[in-house]
């Protein structure tokens, strides 16, 4: 049995009714939740991690987030508990704060509710014990908390999942179709505005493989870059595509640009330390649209051979604006009027050459109002 610390309840709590079902908590407005309604529930623990911390419980009427603090006993998924507390709202939705509880026993986790991305994004399923299906785009261990995180595509929409209990990083599941169970949570900003759903899985055992990924994904024929995201392309948009080409420019820890001679593309990946312009590479990545241009994201890169950096196409400043050279390695001559480095991308500078304003890779520091030749892949 676990007991938490004593509660110093607001004076008005004695005049408020005791909430005995989760659904009574979930319908409270922000102002009502902050009044500190007394709570008494019998529920099942469905998720806990001390890093968030995040603690979810479920009774017959719904799922609920509970505020856990360091020094309290650590709940375990499957525990049946009797819990007392008060309502509060410090984050996205109404919570149970200052919990005191005792363990009644332990059993199986409840059956989940099958949900779509649209239901999760509506926020009506926040806190609920759910089940959904999607394509795995990536898996990694979050460095600070040590949680295993997975990136999913659910009907083409990005959904995060995480668990504190795992025995491996399941990179073998990338591009697989899976079913997962967990509590639906929310990624939100400082204004408590919803940015996207996240599934809190009590363990990696909540993942069920529905369709395995290709055993040798690099063996398939490479898709011509110019055919990506065009009408009639035979590939499934949710699955990885294979392209092959030569790197034309590298963004530090962000990605690179690649060409196969007939088309050019931006590839998003954090592992760029060993990549160089001129490398011939094989790439597996998920098709996406970023900054109004086709791109591959959550990508895996294999260097086939080293080579000389390709020659850029020489274009006029007005040609950089018409879209035909997007992601293409180019060189532009003009008169530099100003130059400002980007804080978020320190390897990039923004400048104005004649009548054109577009980013170009940082070269030697140039003085304003000086002739300059800028070289790099166009973007935007």
Q: Is position 4 within any domain?
A: no
- The domain boundary, picked from 211, 235, 257, lies at 211
206 within some domain: yes
In this structure, are 338 and 364 located in the same domain?
yes
Q: Going edge to edge, which strands form the sheet with 79-88?
A: 62-65, 54-59, 38-49, 79-88, 95-106
Kindly report the CATH number assigned to the domain that includes residue 33: 2.40.50.200
3-state secondary structure of 30: helix
Could you tell me if residue 342 is inside a domain? yes
Question: 120 and 175 in one domain?
Answer: yes
Residue 96 forms part of a structural domain: yes
Question: Are residues 122 and 44 both part of a single domain?
Answer: no
Tell me: do 206 and 221 sit in the same domain.
no
Residues 44 and 61 in one domain: yes
- Count CA atoms closer than 13 A to 220's CA, side-chain side: 15
| Beta bridge partners of residue 297, listed in sequence order | 286
> By residue range, what is the domain housing residue 206?
113-211
Q: Are residues 207 and 235 in the same domain?
A: no
Contact 213, 174 (CB under 8 A): yes
Do residues 174 and 255 both lie within one domain?
Answer: no
Give me the residues of the chain with pLDDT under 50, please.
1-11, 355-372
CA nearest 128: which of 137, 119, 136?
Answer: 119
Number of domains in the chain: 4
Residues 48 and 124 in one domain: no
Residue among 100, 86, 101 at smallest CA distance from 9:
86
pLDDT attached to residue 92: 83
Q: Please give the full DSSP string across 172-235, using - where no structure is assigned.
A: GGTT-EEEEEEEEEEEE-TT--EEEEEEE-SSGGGEEEEEPPPSSGGGSPPPPGGGTT-TT--S
What would the pLDDT profile of 188-216 be if each residue is shown by its tens digit? 888 878 899 999 999 999 999 999 999 99
Whether 2 maps to a domain, the answer reads: no
Q: Is residue 6 part of a domain?
A: no
pLDDT attached to residue 8 = 43
The answer to whether position 97 is within a domain reads yes
The whole model's pTM is what? 0.81
Residue 166 and residue 224 in one domain = no
Is residue 327 domain-shared with residue 297, that is, in the same domain?
Answer: no
Whether 366 is covered by a domain: the verdict is yes
Residues 202 and 247 in one domain: no
Do 74 and 23 have their domain in common? Answer: yes
And the tokens for 147? Answer: 């949680």
Q: Give the domain CATH number at 185.
A: 2.40.50.140
What pLDDT is stored for residue 125 in this prediction? 94
Residue at a domain's end among 289, 305, 321: 305
- Choosing from 86, 106, 126, the residue where a domain stops is 106
Q: Is 319 helix (H, G, I), strand (E, B) or coil?
A: helix
């Amino acid at each position: 049995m676990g007991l938490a610390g004593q509660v110093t309840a607001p004076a008005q709590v004695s005049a408020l009714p005791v909430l005995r079902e989760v659904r009574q908590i979930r319908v409270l407005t922000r102002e009502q939740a902050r009044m500190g309604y007394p709570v008494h529930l019998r529920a099942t623990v469905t998720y806990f991690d001390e890093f968030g911390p995040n603690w979810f419980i479920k009774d017959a009427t719904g799922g609920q987030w509970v505020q856990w603090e360091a020094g309290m006993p650590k709940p375990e998924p499957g525990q049946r508990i009797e819990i007392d507390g008060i309502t509060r709202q410090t984050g996205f939705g109404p919570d149970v704060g200052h919990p005191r509880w005792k363990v009644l026993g332990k059993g199986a986790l409840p059956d989940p509710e099958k949900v779509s991305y649209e239901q999760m994004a509506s926020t009506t399923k926040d806190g609920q014990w759910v089940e959904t299906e999607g394509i795995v785009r990536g898996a990694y261990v979050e460095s600070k908390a040590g949680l295993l995180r997975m990136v999913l595509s659910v009907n083409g929409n990005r959904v995060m999942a995480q668990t504190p209990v795992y025995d491996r990083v399941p990179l073998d599941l990338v591009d697989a179709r899976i079913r997962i169970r967990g509590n639906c949570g929310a990624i939100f900003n400082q204004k408590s505005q919803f940015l996207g759903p996240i599934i809190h899985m009590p363990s990696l055992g909540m993942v069920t493989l529905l369709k395995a990924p290709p055993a040798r994904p690099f063996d398939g024929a490479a898709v011509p870059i110019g055919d990506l995201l065009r009408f009639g392309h035979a590939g499934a948009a949710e699955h990885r595509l294979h392209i092959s080409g030569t790197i034309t420019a590298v963004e530090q820890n962000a990605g690179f640009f690649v060409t196969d001679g007939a088309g050019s593309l931006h590839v998003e990946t954090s592992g760029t330390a060993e990549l160089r312009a001129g490398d011939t590479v094989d790439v597996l990545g998920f098709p996406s649209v970023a900054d109004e241009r086709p791109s591959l994201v959550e990508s895996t890169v294999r260097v086939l051979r080293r080579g000389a950096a390709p020659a850029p196409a020489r274009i006029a400043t007005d040609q950089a604006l018409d879209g035909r050279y997007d992601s293409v390695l180019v060189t532009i001559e003009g008169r530099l009027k100003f130059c400002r480095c980007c804080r978020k991308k320190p390897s990039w500078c923004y400048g104005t050459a004649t009548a054109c304003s577009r980013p170009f890779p940082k070269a030697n520091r140039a003085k304003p109002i000086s002739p300059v030749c800028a070289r790099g892949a166009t973007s935007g």
